[in-house]
């Protein structure tokens, strides 16, 4: 057999040419976008008889954000709840705005955020003579989309869209069987009585424990109850009928939803356009003037915050969103502590609203943030507003606050801790033939994943976990004016909905972030609230380009995606796991909205 050598130039030239081609394509795209940007008038205008068009098709975060998705060669757009709330407020007072048209497709958010949007829709219609029309234009209508849309006085849907109204459910995946086949063992250490801290159960069980099943069933039942009751209040249908529909699976298409009075009518989009034209007295559909609600609200919110940050404000809203980490992406303690400190030291700021939307994470980072919240309460009132999730480490940082607001369907509690140390030695030896030997000066000097913990070493880690859990109990007891025993009774890692958390004393009142801001102002004796959000909105020039690219995408000019969205989501979850170091105070589950 002859071994042929591959020429270096046969590898070099194709690689060089491919690189040059990619560079040229990239420059063409950038040049085209820049050219469009330069030829676009930067003046933002709203004409008379304008209808704001809100497309709820994607993720809704606490604050809006445009970012470059390098892996996907596209733009990631997150709609901001703060932007939308401010947009509803300004649109209500804007005489040029006649109404709002909300189109729902793949809306991704938690039920607490959905509730906040519903409240804004209802308030807009109840306090003005303007309208809100909601329309389902996607392949399928999910429960969350319907829950938001049902707040409007008029709701329509596309003929052939599916309609999912089957209740709420959760599916858990357990890895114990796989690990057994691989000879891989996860050495799990939870707080000694943290039987509800079920995040680690998939590592050593093959099905949910009784404790895990109980808490899951309870909070799913509570969220479902809130959803049914709110829908029944807005639509001409009873809670009993909604329950019957879900149990029987009677509504699987939009037409069936209309037959059961869940929506007003089945319509094509052009028919909905005619309804909108009739509402504003337009002679024909072509006379309608639409303006992006997202762009309108973001522009208004950004202008307001730029003005506020350059003048005096009396209320600070510190937004903390994502998994708790020391540094990096998410709710990073090295960033949030600076923001809290800045608000605390600003003499013009009379009160602080701390908005938390987090499943928890690093126990160390949680403690760093807790310290800053505690210091802030010694100088001024701190009011916590919980979003979709404020659990485990997310509750830890809320505990010192003077008052805690949560939505009925907020997920909170999960007061507990855990640690996981994998044992890979048997797998590497049995599957790959790798063996290990150790030399040390002391018995416990080599703590390796390739060496199984001895009972003494396991006990050492257990004591550390218990120590952190005990400190967690003390933090909550101190913040909530309860005894450690009382906190332990409702802790043990258990997850609560906001409504149940109110009953057991973990939160003080039910309401959204606007309720929390209103309370903070009244409590501090502020007659004219001037609200400053942290972190400060910093809009770079290149973000204008991203907005234009995003508008192109909305108009149907989406570039082909190289990596499937599902694969990217999996990759992002792996990145989150890589950030987990030390003992964790984290929600038992990852919730995918």
Residue 2 pLDDT more than 50?
no
Decide which of 11 and 416 is more confident. 416
Q: What is the rounded average pLDDT of the residues 419-441?
A: 94
pLDDT value at residue 336:
97
pLDDT value for 570: 59
Q: Give pLDDT tens digits for 69-117.
A: 544 445 567 899 999 999 999 999 999 999 999 999 989 999 999 999 9
Element (H, E) at 88: helix 81-93
For residue 55, which of 214, 317, 290, 336 has the smallest C-alpha distance? Answer: 290
Superfamily of domain 175-204+312-557+583-588: 2-enoyl-CoA Hydratase; Chain A, domain 1 (3.90.226.10)
Minimum mean pLDDT range among 56-60, 63-67, 462-466, 560-564: 560-564
Q: Are strands 131-136 and 154-157 parallel, antiparallel or unpaired?
A: parallel
Q: Is the pLDDT of residue 237 over 90?
A: yes
338 or 25, higher pLDDT: 338
Confidence of residue 45 (pLDDT cuts 50, 70, 90): confident
* pLDDT band at residue 554 under the 50/70/90 scheme: very low
Q: Given a cut of 80, is residue 30 above it in pLDDT?
A: no
Q: Residue 475: what pLDDT? A: 96
In the block, tokens 């219609």 appear at 125
* 455 vs 549 pLDDT, higher one: 455
Q: For residue 107, what are the CA distances in angstroms to 104, 410, 528?
A: 7, 18, 35
Residue 24 above 90 pLDDT? Answer: no
Sequence length of the chain is: 593
Q: How confident is the model at residue 289 (pLDDT cuts 50, 70, 90)?
A: very high
Q: Residue 338: phi, psi to the nearest 5?
A: -65, -40
Tell me the average pLDDT of the chain. Answer: 87
pTM higher than the cut 0.85? no
Pick the catalytic residue from 197, 235, 295, 300: 197
pLDDT above 70: percentage of residues in the chain: 82
* Whether the domain at 50-170+213-296 and the domain at 175-204+312-557+583-588 fall into the same CATH topology: yes
Q: Lowest-confidence range among 265-279, 483-497, 566-580?
A: 566-580
Q: Choosing from 115, 333, 385, 392, which is the catalytic residue?
A: 392
pLDDT at 31 over 80: no
Is the predicted pLDDT of residue 433 greater than 90, yes or no?
yes
Residue 555 confidence (pLDDT): 46
Give pLDDT, residue 74. 52
Contact 561, 72 (CB under 8 A): yes
pLDDT at position 369, please? 98
Q: Any idea where the domains of the chain sit in the sequence?
A: 9-40, 50-170+213-296, 175-204+312-557+583-588
Range in 43-57, 209-223, 274-288, 352-366 the model is least confident about: 43-57
Contacts of 271 (CB under 8 A, 6+ apart): none
Phi, psi of 79 (to 5 degrees): -75, 135
- Predicted pLDDT at 590: 59
CATH level 3 topology of 50-170+213-296: 2-enoyl-CoA Hydratase; Chain A, domain 1 (3.90.226)
Burial of 123 (0-12, 13-18, 19+ CB in 10 A): middle
The tens digit of pLDDT for each residue in 141-182 reads: 999 999 999 999 999 999 889 999 999 999 999 999 999 999
Catalytic site residue 392? yes
- Residue 9 predicted with pLDDT over 60: no
Token reading at 122? 């209802």
pLDDT at 572: 59
Q: Do β-strands 131-136 and 97-108 pair in parallel, antiparallel, or remain unpaired? A: parallel
Averaged pLDDT for residues 205-219: 95
Instruction: Give the pLDDT mean for 379-400.
Output: 97
**What confidence tier does 204 reach under pLDDT thresholds 50, 70, 90?**
very high
Res. 354: pLDDT tops 80: yes
* Residues 408, 397: Cα–Cα separation, whole Å: 20
Q: How far is CA 77 from CA 53, 67, 81, 139, 543, in A?
A: 16, 7, 13, 21, 11
Express as a percent the part of the chain with pLDDT over 90: 76
Q: What does the alpha-carbon distance between residue 84 and residue 270 come to, in Å, rounded to a whole number?
A: 26
Across residues 366-374, what is the average pLDDT? Answer: 97
Residues 182 and 293 sit within 8 Å (Cβ to Cβ): no
Residue 298 has pLDDT above 60, yes or no: yes
Q: CA 555 to CA 153: how far, in whole Å?
A: 28
**Catalytic annotation on 559?**
no
Q: Confidence band (pLDDT; 50, 70, 90) for 561?
A: very low
pLDDT at 542 over 70: no
* 558 has pLDDT over 50: no
CA distance 269 to 254: 14
């Amino acid at each position: 057999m002859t071994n042929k050598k591959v020429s270096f130039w046969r590898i070099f030239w194709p690689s060089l040419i491919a690189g040059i081609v990619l560079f040229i394509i990239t420059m063409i795209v950038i040049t085209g976008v820049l050219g469009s940007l330069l030829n676009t008038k930067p003046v933002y205008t709203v004409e008379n008889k304008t209808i704001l068009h809100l497309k709820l098709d994607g993720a809704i975060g606490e604050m809006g954000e445009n970012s470059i998705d390098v892996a996907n060669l596209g733009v990631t757009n997150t709609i901001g709840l703060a932007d939308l709330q401010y947009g509803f407020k300004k649109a209500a007072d804007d005489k040029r705005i006649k109404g709002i048209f909300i189109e729902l497709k793949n809306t991704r958010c938690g039920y607490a955020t959905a509730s906040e949007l519903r409240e804004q829709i209802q308030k807009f219609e109840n306090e003005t003579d303007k309208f809100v029309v909601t329309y389902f234009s996607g392949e399928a209508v999910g429960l969350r989309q319907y829950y938001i849309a049902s707040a409007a006085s008029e709701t329509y849907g596309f003929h052939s869209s599916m309609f999912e109204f089957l209740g709420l459910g959760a599916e858990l995946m357990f890895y114990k069987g796989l690990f057994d086949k691989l000879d891989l063992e996860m050495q799990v250490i939870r707080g000694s009585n943290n039987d509800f801290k079920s995040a680690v159960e998939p590592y050593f069980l093959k099905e949910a424990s009784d404790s895990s099943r109980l808490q899951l069933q309870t909070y799913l039942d509570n969220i479902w109850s809130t959803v049914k009751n709110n829908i029944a209040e807005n639509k001409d249908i009873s809670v009993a009928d909604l329950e019957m529909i879900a149990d029987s699976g009677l509504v699987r298409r939009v037409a069936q939803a209309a037959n059961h009075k869940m929506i007003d009518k089945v319509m094509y989009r052009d028919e909905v356009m005619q309804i909108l034209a009739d509402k504003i007295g337009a002679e024909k559909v072509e006379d309608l003037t639409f303006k992006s609600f997202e762009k309108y609200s973001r522009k208004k919110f950004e202008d307001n915050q730029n003005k506020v940050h350059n003048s005096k404000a009396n209320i600070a809203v510190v937004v903390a969103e994502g998994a708790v980490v020391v540094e990096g992406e998410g709710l990073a303690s090295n960033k949030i502590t600076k923001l809290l400190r800045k608000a605390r030291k600003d003499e013009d700021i009379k009160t602080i609203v701390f908005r938390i939307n987090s499943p928890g994470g690093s126990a160390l980072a949680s403690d760093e943030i807790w310290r800053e919240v505690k210091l802030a309460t010694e100088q001024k009132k701190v009011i916590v507003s919980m979003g979709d999730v404020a659990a485990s480490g997310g509750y830890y940082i809320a505990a010192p606050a003077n008052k805690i607001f949560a939505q009925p369907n907020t997920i909170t509690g999960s007061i507990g801790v855990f640690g996981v140390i994998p044992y890979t030695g048997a797998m590497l030896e049995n599957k790959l033939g790798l063996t290990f030997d150790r030399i040390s000066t002391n018995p416990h000097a080599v703590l390796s994943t390739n060496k199984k913990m001895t009972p003494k070493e396991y006990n050492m880690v257990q004591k550390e976990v218990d120590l952190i859990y005990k400190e967690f109990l003390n933090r909550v007891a101190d913040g909530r004016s309860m005894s450690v025993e009382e906190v332990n009774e409702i802790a043990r890692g258990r997850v609560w909905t906001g409504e149940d958390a109110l009953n057991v004393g973990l939160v003080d009142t039910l309401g959204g972030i606007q309720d929390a801001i209103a309370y903070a102002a009244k409590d501090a004796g502020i007659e004219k609230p001037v609200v400053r959000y942290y972190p400060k909105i910093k809009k770079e020039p290149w973000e204008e380009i991203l907005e234009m690219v995003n508008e192109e995408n909305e108009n149907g000019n989406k570039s082909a995606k190289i990596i499937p969205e599902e694969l990217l989501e999996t990759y992002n979850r792996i990145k989150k796991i890589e950030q987990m170091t030390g003992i964790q105070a984290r929600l038992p589950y990852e919730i995918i909205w």
